Amino acid sequence: MSEKTESAYGGAAMAQKKLTIPELVAMKRDGKKITMMTAYDVAFARLVDRAGIDMLLVGDSAGMVMLGYPNTVPVTMDNMVQMAASVARGATHPVLVGDMPFGTYQTGPQDALRNAARFLKEAGMDAVKIEGGRETVDTVRMLVENGIAVMAHVGLTPQRVAQFGGFKTQARSARAARRLIDDAVALEDAGAFSIVLESIPAPVAAMVTERLGIPTIGIGAGPDCDGQVLVLHDVLGLFGDFKPKFAKRYADIGSQVVAALTAFDADVRSGAFPDADHSFTMKETELEALKQDLARPARPKAV
Ligand code: KIV
């Protein structure tokens, strides 16, 4: 049962029952589709929460849509922890996943454990996400053995954008697809509770989904995945710099924001804002007293 409470921003926040990782994994077994959305701050986390989304990813896509970098590589752990903590203060229902930035888990197990633990201890995340195939299997196993739930991520892993020569669809040849399927199986064996499949042919994603017991969450991976994820700014029309083919725009909030700000700009310049409805008054007697006080000659300053 959901309980409604009024919040200053994002309208009514719903204090909803928290979804757990085992419940999420069971959704695959029960044939229920899983939804995941990114968010990077408390206002949008509340809205994602109200929409009933199952998983909320604080993605390192923040590097592009929040921080203005050309790709996700420059994002730091401090960037991510601050945004993730904000998100955790706004979302009550979804499983919360913090995305491990480039260079925070490849440098060795101790670094991976320390950085992943920051997401749980400092930011209130339920799990972390790590990009990569078999080269990350030992890290995934070590994190899981130490009590940290891990979501894997294969296919177009944006942290390798330079190696890939751009944001290109992966696993298009039989050989590359076979490698990806084997990677996914190895990551499940290592203990990952779920896996993102990004920008791969739909039939390959279907084969991975059929072979794994854990949920596959697709982004540009066709309709046969157990769930789907998109980047919030793509869905809402808040980011025009880069639009992947797989990103579906469900709203054009960007245009509405520009229209609202243009109206504010015009109102201030014309004097239409603020009007009486948005201003404060004081008692006539107090105002008169103030005026008389100001009219009196100033008292000499004490030396
Ligand atoms: O960083 C991100 O937002 C992601 C999703 C695209 C899966 O990794």
- Which listed residue (3, 145, 188, 198) is catalytic? 198
The pLDDT score that the predictor gives to residue 15 is 67
Span 110-138, average pLDDT: 98
The pLDDT score that the predictor gives to residue 14 is 55
The pLDDT score that the predictor gives to residue 6 is 45
Using alpha carbons only, give the angle 15, 44, 198 rounded to the nearest 5 degrees. Answer: 110
Q: Per-residue confidence at 10, pLDDT binned at 50, 70, 90?
A: very low
- Nearest residue (by CA) to ligand 1, atom 3, is 59
- The helix (H) or strand (E) run that includes residue 172 is none
Contact 132, 158 (CB under 8 A): no
Which of 196, 234, 246 is the best mutation target for the ligand 1 pocket, counting ligand atoms within 8 Å of the beta carbon and taking the most? 196
198 flagged as catalytic: yes
Lowest pLDDT segment from 51-55, 137-141, 157-161, 243-247: 243-247
For residue 20, report the distance from its CA to the centre of ligand 1, in Å: 21
Span 251-263, average pLDDT: 97
Beta-strand ranges (E) seen in 199-248 are 216-219, 227-230
The pLDDT score that the predictor gives to residue 16 is 82
Q: Per-residue confidence at 301, pLDDT binned at 50, 70, 90?
A: confident
How far apart are alpha carbons 239 and 234 in whole angstroms?
Answer: 6
Contact 98, 128 (CB under 8 A): yes
Q: Per-residue confidence at 23, pLDDT binned at 50, 70, 90?
A: very high
36 CA closest ligand 1 atom index = 7
Ligand 1 interacting residues, C-beta cut-off 6 A: 38, 57, 59-61, 99, 196, 198, 219, 229, 231
How far apart are alpha carbons 159 and 72 in whole angstroms?
Answer: 6
Q: Does the N-terminal peptide bond of residue 101 adopt cis geometry, omega within 30 degrees of 0? A: no
pLDDT over 90 (residue 3): no
Decide the pairing of beta strands 95-99 and 55-58: parallel
Span 57-64, average pLDDT: 97
Span 73-94, average pLDDT: 98
Higher-pLDDT residue of 277, 14: 277
For residue 152, report the distance from its CA to the centre of ligand 1, in Å: 11
Which of 129, 160, 234, 245 is the best mutation target for the ligand 1 pocket, counting ligand atoms within 8 Å of the beta carbon and taking the most? 129
Contact 153, 100 (CB under 8 A): no
- Nearest residue (by CA) to ligand 1, atom 8, is 59
The pLDDT score that the predictor gives to residue 1 is 37
Q: What is the mean pLDDT of the chain?
A: 94
Lowest pLDDT segment from 1-5, 53-57, 63-67, 189-193: 1-5
Q: Per-residue confidence at 12, pLDDT binned at 50, 70, 90?
A: very low
pLDDT over 90 (residue 40): yes
Three-state secondary-structure class, residue 236: helix
